Amino acid sequence: MAKKIRSAASTGEPTLEKKHTKSVRQRRFFWIGFGFALPWIIGFCCFKIYPICSAIYYSFTDFNSFRSPNWVRLDNYTNLVQDKYVIKSLKNTAYMVIIGLPISISFAMLMSLVMNIKAKGMPLVRTILYIPAMVPSMASALLFMWLMNSRYGIVNQGLKEFYSIIPQAVKDFLPFSFKPPSWINDPKWTKMTLIIMGCWGCGGTAVIGLAALRGVPTHFYEAAELDGANRWTRFWRITIPLISPTIQFQFIMGIINMFQYFTQAFMFNMFTTTSQVTGGGPSDSLLFYAINLYREAFDYLHMGYACALAMVLFVIVMIVTFVAMKVSNKMVSYDIE
């Protein structure tokens, strides 16, 4: 009998007996599993699938929150191409992705390296470095409004102090006279202020980096040390390649987050704009894509247009993420052995 079953299995024809036993168990497990997953599936349908489908539909309408939407075909999308605020907001957002993201990831990696140092009191240092990540975005924005205040802020006070200790002979050779930046009011510096704020709160990213650093097998370093590699070489030849999947992950997540940059800029704009309408900061330098989308949806009640903006953002993020994945895949090493 056993021989018969084996031969049937080898031909790909399961016996009736075997099929019946397996399917009953499978079904039972399936329905039990499905039952457990059902609350999540319902939530997923209600709060993810439905809003996404609605947004796609509304992006082709003149929906305004109050009145039944009318079908306007591609009007929202054609208007969007001509909208100067969309172009402006895309430029500002691109700045954060291209300039801000590499800075904040580099800073986070630096923090991970510091956290990875085996020294006395490191748990305390790790805690201190991680604490800013727990501060809500709104609170940190308010805090930075004061820290970066150009007259009394601690940052500019520090810069002034630093400048004052430079010997006059050196100052005479400098090709510029030092003036601390106007972090909050100067359109040239506002985005940099947000980037610095982002670096301050990147403890979460640093902890992931720390986990990756801890995952690098020590025998690689030992072998390299025996071969005479110095610290710098070990870092570039061993550490970076082996944590590259983590860096790639952070980079991809960072791209997605930067394209949706909102809360901190919204808070800054509240304080730098005197109007009741959602502003874009000094000279619209903080008018990010998500801020513009919010303004269209909630200040101007152009909900259909805002949905079209969201769809375009989705496509942009998808394309950029795809390209970034393709490009970075060539640089990422998964070969740990």
Partner 1 sequence: MKKMKKLFAVVLALCMVLALAACGGSDNPDTPDTPNTPSTPNTPSTPETPNNPETPSTPETPADPGEVVEVTVWHQFGETTENGAPHYYYTKWAEEFNATHSNIHVTVTGAKSATDAQTAIAGGSTPDIFMNQWNNAPTWANEGGLLDLTPYYDAAPAEWFNDFVPSVLALCNFNGKYYSVPNSITTTVMFYRDDILAECGWDHHPANTDELLQCIKDCTKADENGDIARLGLLPNMPWFDTVMMPAVFNTQWIADDGVTVPADKEAVAYMFEWIQSVYKLYEDEFGWDYLTVQDFASTVSGNRASASDPVLTGELAMRWNSEGLAGTFAKLVNDPANNLSNVQWSMGLFPNVTGGTEMAMLGGNVWEVNARTEHPDETWEVLQSLTSPETAVEFALGENNNGSFYAHKQALAALAGDLGDQIAAAKENPDEGAQVKKNLEFLCDVFANVPLQSFPTCAYVNEYINALGTYSGEVFAGNMTPMEAVEAIVADIQPLANENPYIPFSYQAK
Site for partner 1 in 85-144 (CB under 8 A): none
**DSSP characters over 54-113:** HHHHHTTB---SSSPP-B-TTHHHHHHHH-HHHHHHHHHHHHIIIIIHHHHHHHHHHHHH
Question: Does the protein bind partner 1 through residue 178 (CB under 8 A)?
Answer: no
Question: Does the protein bind partner 1 through residue 71 (CB under 8 A)?
Answer: no
CB atoms under 10 Å from CB of 266, counted, come to 21
Long-range contacts of 291-299 (CB under 8 A, 24+ apart): 291/89, 291/262, 291/265, 291/266, 292/85, 292/86, 292/88, 292/89, 294/262, 294/266
Window 238-277: contact mask with partner 1 (x via CB under 8 A): ---------------------------------xxxxxxx
Determine the Cα angle at 198 with ends 192 and 201, to 5°.
150
139 to 135, 142, 173, 254, 295: CA distances (angstroms): 7, 5, 41, 21, 22
Q: How far is the CB of 86 from partner 1 (least distance, A)?
A: 14
Question: Which range binds partner 1 by CB under 8 A, 105-113, 183-191, 220-228, 252-260?
Answer: 183-191
In angstroms, the CA 143 to CA 29 distance is: 52
Question: Does the protein bind partner 1 through residue 79 (CB under 8 A)?
Answer: no
**DSSP characters over 137-148:** HHHHHHHHHHHT
Question: Does the protein bind partner 1 through residue 201 (CB under 8 A)?
Answer: no
Q: Which residue type, as a one-letter code, is found at position 222? A: E
Exactly one of 182, 190, 205, 246 binds partner 1 (CB under 8 A); that residue is 182
Question: Does the protein bind partner 1 through residue 12 (CB under 8 A)?
Answer: no
Exactly one of 7, 15, 65, 329 binds partner 1 (CB under 8 A); that residue is 65
Residue nearer to partner 1 on the CB measure, 26 or 329: 26
Question: Does the protein bind partner 1 through residue 304 (CB under 8 A)?
Answer: no
Question: Which range binds partner 1 by CB under 8 A, 5-13, 19-27, 73-81, 95-103?
Answer: 19-27
Contacts with partner 1 by CB under 8 A lie at 23, 26-27, 30, 34, 38, 41-42, 45-46, 49-50, 53, 64-68, 145-146, 149-152, 182, 184-186, 271-277, 279-280, 282-284, 295, 298-301
